Structure 1
Amino acid sequence: MSSPDTAESPSSTPRGIALMTVAMLTIPAVDGFAKYLSADYSPLFLAWARYAVACLAVLPVAVAMHGKQVFPRRDRPAHALRTLFLVSSMTLYFLAIARIELATAITAFFVGPIVAVVLSVAFFGERLTWRKGLSLALGFVGALIMLRPGGAVDPGLLMAFGAGVFFALYMIATRLASRQSDPIRTLAFQCVFGALLLTPQALFAWSTPAVGDLLLFAGLGLFSAASHILSITAFRYADTTTLSPLVYVELIGTATIGYLAFREVPGLATIVGAAFIVAAGLVLLQRRARA
């Protein structure tokens, strides 16, 4: 969801904030659908279904806007790489939420932006400032609290952390993709190529959806596409510094859905670990704001 700062005017900022907030509250609905469906369907199949349904929603919009040129014309290998990382992240995350609480999974997933800092230093030669170092330390402590070294580690938790790492790789690959790409074309490519990448695992874990579940499968893809389009539109009205902190609304939304739909109550380790990881992210955001 990386977009250039294209805010039109200060007066449009509230509109951008509202759109981004709705986008971040929409994503947890996707997690809720996936967790509910994972009781009867493989997460490998659900990951493909999310992209397949999203294709049905995004492609007509891309065709209406761009005709036959629905995919980016430049840097397609970079777009393919970033999509590969994104579908890997999402598949691991779906495997995770089938095993552990939603709040725990999303907290572990949020190590992604912190890992991206390390990768930026390694791959782009960015300077490791004291703020970045503090962020890394806070994120590392938060991860340790959640993992509780010396005790039994749930494989689902490791999958959620893995999802965060792959999302960090996706963020790095996004920097390599052309910044001039149209957002809708980029999203269309991501949906189609992602569905193709996930087809083999979907065939391996295939389960024909029951008629009563079709609406839930539709929600899985439609809410996903809606969250992307809402966030893309939000960046047209407000800048990155204003909108970035709102990603943590997703954490609140996911915990709420986990409690209301599945009666999940986050444990103390999850709450404390989340506090450290969110603090680590906010340190990075404050650095961006000052820059």
Structure 2
Amino acid sequence: MAMMSTYPVPAPSRAVHGILCITAAMLLFVVQDAAMKSLLVTYPVWPLLFARSVVAVMVLVPLIVWLGAPHSLRSALWPLHLARAALFATGFSMFYAAFPFMGLAEVSTIFFAAPLFTALMAALFLGERIGAYRVAALVVGFAGVVIAMRPAGGLDLVAVLPLLCALSYAASQILARRIGERESTLTVGLYTLAFSGVLILPAGWAVAQIVPDTAATQHLRWGLPAGALADLASLTALGLVGMVAYMLASRAYQVANASLVAPFDYTYLPFAALLAYVLWAEVPPPATLAGMAIIIASGLCIGWRETRAARRGDTTPAIAESTFTPGHPPPQVSEDDQTP
């Protein structure tokens, strides 16, 4: 990872940087989730998520030591990292728990309420502007999510799981924006992924005690199947892909306006649908396709409006995230200065 410049980064460069990072992250997340869906036939979800955290620690700790400042193994912001880890572990446990019951495209489409939640949270908690056009786009996007969940045919409670994951994911990205560049991307990735690995095991044990052990819930059981070491290479590769994807997503929200970056999460959907068709011949039902189209259109509308505003100079990155070196405290900014 390249280290940040000590000079302020122009807003257009930050926007491009964020968009490229989030798009690359979504492509890697598609690969990761397809691998997860395949491995869940054999493995419970808990060791798969734990494996990703273990790989992250094994790679990031020596890398941070080797690179040195501004990366650090110590963090004064560990409460924020712990909160992100709890959201990450809880949310994606629910996301993957839905896989055996729903197609990859169906689960992913409902999850993509996340950018809509992110845009709303950015307005509520970060003070980012949200005008009439964006409000209209958000309403349309949520309508797409409702359609994808197919309530007219009876709401499947399993469909609520990716929706809850969307909410936790959006909250974790708002926390990433709060962290800003006070710490490097490597440090943020290490703490969040390491903490999530610590949290996922007791959480998995607790869920396994509550959920009945049936053929449909084998992916929520506690324990490893026989011969797990034979898949060590696959588990390591899964961890590496997930680690890089997560760090790229975190980086995107660190450097760019959250409501600008969020719509580009939608690049995940067409790739997920295509890969699910190629691997498992999954064809999303009409309601899912309709909801997907509406959600993508809503997200692109928000992104287009944000891009136009950035070109006119109507939006700028937050002062605290644009004028300091990673690893050093940002300048003090008054509440009046932070208000758009």
TM range (shorter): 0.7 to 0.9
Alignment partner, residue 167 of structure 2: 165
Residues 202 and 177 of structure 1: is their aligned pair in 2 closer, same or farther, counting only changes over 3 Å? same
1:206 to 223, 239, 253: 223
Counterpart amino acid of residue 153 in structure 1 = L
Deviates more, 1:193-202 or 1:169-178: 169-178
In structure 2, distance between residues paired with 1:21 and 1:131: 24
Deviation sequence 1:200-257 (CA, Å, 0-9, x none): 1345522156233222211221111222455678899999899765433322221122
The residue correspondences of 1:131-170 to structure 2 (distance < 5 A) are 131-170=133-172
In structure 2, distance between residues paired with 1:141 and 1:243: 21
> Does 2:114 match 1:112?
yes
1:116 and 1:169 in contact (8 A); partners too: yes
In structure 2, distance between residues paired with 1:112 and 1:200: 26
Residues 182 and 46 of structure 1: is their aligned pair in 2 closer, same or farther, counting only changes over 3 Å? same
Alignment partner, residue 91 of structure 2: 89
In structure 2, distance between residues paired with 1:236 and 1:46: 27
Which has the greater radius of gyration? 2
2:180 and 2:255 in contact (8 A); partners too: no
Counterpart amino acid of residue 270 in structure 1 = T
In structure 2, distance between residues paired with 1:241 and 1:230: 17
Deviates more, 1:132-141 or 1:18-27: 18-27
In structure 1, distance between residues paired with 2:252 and 2:114: 22
TM-fit CA distance, 1:34: 0.9
> Does 2:228 match 1:226?
no
Deviates more, 1:98-107 or 1:223-232: 223-232
TM-fit CA distance, 1:57: 2.6
1:20 and 1:231 in contact (8 A); partners too: yes
Counterpart amino acid of residue 187 in structure 2 = R
1:145 and 1:272 in contact (8 A); partners too: yes
Residues 227 and 281 of structure 1: is their aligned pair in 2 closer, same or farther, counting only changes over 3 Å? same
The residue correspondences of 1:164-183 to structure 2 (distance < 5 A) are 164-183=166-185
Alignment partner, residue 286 of structure 1: 304
Residues 237 and 82 of structure 1: is their aligned pair in 2 closer, same or farther, counting only changes over 3 Å? closer
The residue correspondences of 1:1-291 to structure 2 (distance < 5 A) are 6=9, 21-66=23-68, 70-71=72-73, 73-124=75-126, 128-203=130-205, 205-208=222-225, 210-229=228-247, 246-289=264-307, 290=309, 291=315
Deviation sequence 1:53-86 (CA, Å, 0-9, x none): 332232222222238x743533221222122212
Residues 49 and 267 of structure 1: is their aligned pair in 2 closer, same or farther, counting only changes over 3 Å? same
Scaled by the length of structure 2, the TM-score of the pair is 0.72
In structure 1, distance between residues paired with 2:304 and 2:296: 12
Deviation sequence 1:174-218 (CA, Å, 0-9, x none): 233253211111111112111111121345522156233222211
In structure 2, distance between residues paired with 1:102 and 1:199: 25
Deviates more, 1:115-124 or 1:191-200: 115-124
1:7 and 1:235 in contact (8 A); partners too: no
Secondary structure of the structure 2 residue equivalent to 1:39: coil
TM-fit CA distance, 1:45: 3.1
TM-fit CA distance, 1:164: 0.5
Secondary structure of the structure 2 residue equivalent to 1:98: helix
1:47 and 1:94 in contact (8 A); partners too: no
Deviates more, 1:238-247 or 1:167-176: 238-247
Deviates more, 1:21-30 or 1:260-269: 21-30
Residues 130 and 233 of structure 1: is their aligned pair in 2 closer, same or farther, counting only changes over 3 Å? closer
Residues 88 and 125 of structure 1: is their aligned pair in 2 closer, same or farther, counting only changes over 3 Å? same
2:94 and 2:165 in contact (8 A); partners too: yes
In structure 2, distance between residues paired with 1:121 and 1:229: 24
Aligned residues: 285
Scaled by the length of structure 1, the TM-score of the pair is 0.83
TM-fit CA distance, 1:27: 1.2
In structure 1, distance between residues paired with 2:122 and 2:251: 27
2:264 and 2:299 in contact (8 A); partners too: no
Deviates more, 1:48-57 or 1:261-270: 48-57
